[in-house]
Amino acid sequence: MRNPCRTTGAGPLRIPSALLGGGLVLGGLLLLAGGCAVSYPQDQKKALEEVAAHLEKGDFQAALEEALWAKERFPDSTRALSVWALAAKTLALSQDPPDFDLLDQAERECLRAGRAHPRDPAPWFTLGVVRRDRGDLGGAVQAWEEALKAEPFHLPTLEALGDLQFSLGHERAAAVLYDRLLRLPPGSMKKEERALFSYRLGVCLLAEAELSPKPEPLDYDPAKKNFLQALSLDPGRVDASRAMAWLVVRISKLKGRWKEPDLRKEDAHKALAYLRKALARHPLSPGCCHDLGWLLEVLGDSRAAEEEYRKALSLDPEFVPALVDLAALVEKRGKEGRAEARKLRKKALDLTGDFALARGLKKALGGSK
């Protein structure tokens, strides 16, 4: 069973409340609505909320014009500057080709504001967003590190940098950031958001355990603790349920209770329980269907396993794990099965970015007729 944790990408980005003086929002855009800059010419918050309303509607030019008004009206405000830079970045990247001059201007002004206000994380955070979205990941990391120097527990920066490090496979660096996020007061974020961070910290700790020097015993307890914490905060988290099912099987194997194709019934029922609970809440999850199919195959029910693999592919025809495992299953049927297996593997090879998996698929395809 492949570790389901590594298929998860980074989550949505936060915009700091410091930019608007209001709540946090998702998606890398300012989605606060309401207010009007014209009706409240002295009210910076209302002006910036109007920018957010334009961004939410997709009217990027209007958002930039409103943000420019706020920036000029409040020239010493890092909030106004940051919102203008985000509006400029959004408009610049919406064009074909992108307006690199506008992007450069947004970077320069954020950098100037950051240097002028080194203890204010807002311009550094925004500079990181601009750089990340234009593809300068190294520059984004540098900017976000400056934001954390200004405010070590700046929630939006911790999440943005944590997500970037996580997506790049830098689990150790991401773990430090997610651990710091989880030490923020409970009221700092929603339970679902805390559950996400707990799950991702579990993934980082799991990777660290798997990569620990052998023959030291693998310690999965820290990862398990975080996965369970994620499920206690958000019982519907599919990724945490899949991770726990994988852990049950992995631990069972390490304790000598699991030898393919046999799995201790007690452990099998635990793993099945996590997957079925997740599917009860999210019946259209291809990942859960695939994992359930794999577990059923290990338990010897090939027919039910094939049904789950095909269900996963009906939900997502490009779900590589299901393509690979279904190919291995149908290949056992003889000539007809080998023909279908070859098609499935070719498709998986075209889709995968996993070098080791690609090498295995090429080897399998080379050996089939």
Q: Which domains are delineated in the chain?
A: 1-151 (1.25.40.10)
pLDDT of 107 higher than 70: yes
Among 238, 234, 187, 227, which residue's Cα sits nearest to residue 205? 227
Handedness of CA 5, 225, 178, 13 (dihedral sign): positive
Q: Which position has the higher pLDDT, 169 or 35?
A: 169
Give the mean model confidence (pLDDT) for residues 104-109.
Answer: 95
pLDDT of 255 higher than 50: yes
Q: Which position has the higher pLDDT, 217 or 70?
A: 70
| pLDDT at site 5 | 53
pLDDT band at 268 (very low <50, low <70, confident <90, very high): confident
Structure tokens at 102: 């506008």
Q: What is the pLDDT of residues 318-367, one digit of tens each?
A: 999 999 999 999 998 888 888 898 999 999 989 887 777 888 888 888 75
With b meaning 16 or more CB within 10 Å and e meaning fewer, what string describes 133-163? bbebeebbbebbebbbebbeebbbbbbbbbb
Among 119, 122, 140, 30, which residue's Cα sits nearest to residue 79? 122
| pLDDT at site 309 | 95
> With pLDDT > 90 as the criterion, what percentage of the chain qualifies?
50
pLDDT band at 269 (very low <50, low <70, confident <90, very high): confident
Q: What is the pLDDT of residues 233-246, one digit of tens each?
A: 999 899 999 999 98
Residue 25 bridge partners (DSSP)? 15
Three-state DSSP class for residue 134: coil
Cβ atoms of residues 126 and 79 within 8 Å: no
Give the mean model confidence (pLDDT) for residues 67-87.
Answer: 88
Give residue 35's region: left, alpha or beta (phi > 0; psi -120 to 50).
Answer: left
| pLDDT at site 54 | 84
Distance (Å, whole) CA 8 – CA 4: 8
Give the mean model confidence (pLDDT) for residues 144-149.
Answer: 96
pLDDT band at 125 (very low <50, low <70, confident <90, very high): very high
